[in-house]
Chains A and B, each alone.
Chain A
């Protein structure tokens, strides 16, 4: 079984010049896709928690996007459009290979560690804590904070009610509050069920 470990920062970020699409590198759409690739890769990496898988997801997503590029009427909407395709590609992969995506308890620090000494350690601990969030909480959080999606957009994309999305976002942040030494707010487990 393949563990969902993070690859190191030395892992090369493959470039995107359109050759994989059989397209001209000077094509405006190829340039647009290439300019957004770092964002897509970061987004996919947070979802998949594995650099190599994230690379595959982005590559596949860009191929899909290229094939349906006619649907992209407004270039200003390209980032959100591509992020949505990446998310769906990850969901497809997750459904196919969910048994391979194991928890990374052995790759990140344990939750019960002593308080970190400074802001940089806080940030690293936070990165570890975000990675350990269950996908149902991590995904909407990443979509909101990194992707810039609204609650309504996330609800549409995840086929959830807005209330359910609010609850998941609340719970995601509430779990991260504890890491910051803040008292977690009282949770309301009824909320999502009522949505």
Chain B
């Protein structure tokens, strides 16, 4: 395989497992770097396609607002010009740091919200989903749910960030809540967020994380805690 053939194959299929390509990459650092770049780009392409073309043009970065950072936004007025500029500069630096620190989590929250928006009809289901379907979807993801199956009104195995994940809508006392069991998405800390009339929380789980969203502004922490304790992770998965 020559240089051009390798480039063509990498560009066409960055994950190509061709033995010829592997052989070429051993001796061609330029093509190896090209492959790395293409793999990174391809991951972004995959994420972009999974989100669907809704909501174009681009939404602002801060469209998902972590509740903690929104509450800590400085609101007070400044007394003179110098202190105003100094405060503005420090706020700008702090904001960059906060955005830098929160960005990966924001990105996950945003993907979750976009996914739920793309399946807006899921909120409207009222009839219990067939228990066998629910069990199968959960089993495929290596989890079980310790709650009455009649509470689940929507169950799908959805493509999310390259993996199949259970997408459920569960009836609760405060109305329907959406649950996404994200075995492949690890988060360090719980994160609450608001977006487009939805309130949600992503919490760390023994394997990955769990996202819980509800419509409206009510806190979903209590529901998330219930869901968290109802999910059983099957070790055999």
Contacts and interface: CB of A to CB of B under 8 A. Distances in A.
A51 B55 CA distance: 11
Given A174-B11, A176-B41, A185-B11, A131 B46 contact: no
A123 B34 CA distance: 20
A137 B203 CA distance: 39
Contact of A127 (B4, B14, B48): B48
Interface string B152-164: 0000111100000
Contact of A39 (B41, B46, B60, B159): B159
Interface stretch (B118-126, B141-149, B175-183): B118-126
Contact of B103 (A6, A107, A116, A119): A119
A193 B137 CA distance: 46
A124 B56 contact: yes
Contact of B8 (A9, A35, A167): A167
B48 A108 contact: no
B54 A6 contact: yes
Interface residues of A, number: 61
A146 B50 contact: yes
A141 B46 CA distance: 10
Interface in A132-170: 141-142, 144-146, 151, 165-167, 169-170
A76 interface: no
A13 B133 CA distance: 21
Contacts of A35: 133, 156-157
A120 B50 CA distance: 14
A157 B118 CA distance: 28
A9 B196 contact: yes
Contacts, number: 151
Contacts of B194: none
Nearest to B121: A13
A170 B125 CA distance: 42
Interface string A12-56: 111100000000001000010001001100100110010100000
A42 B118 contact: yes
A145 B49 contact: yes
Contacts of A126: 44-45, 48
Closest 7 CB pairs of A and B: A124-B58, A170-B11, A169-B12, A166-B12, A9-B117, A126-B48, A13-B121
16 contacts: A6-B54, A9-B54, A9-B114, A12-B120, A15-B124, A118-B61, A127-B51, A127-B56, A128-B57, A144-B13, A145-B45, A166-B13, A169-B11, A173-B38, A176-B45, A177-B37
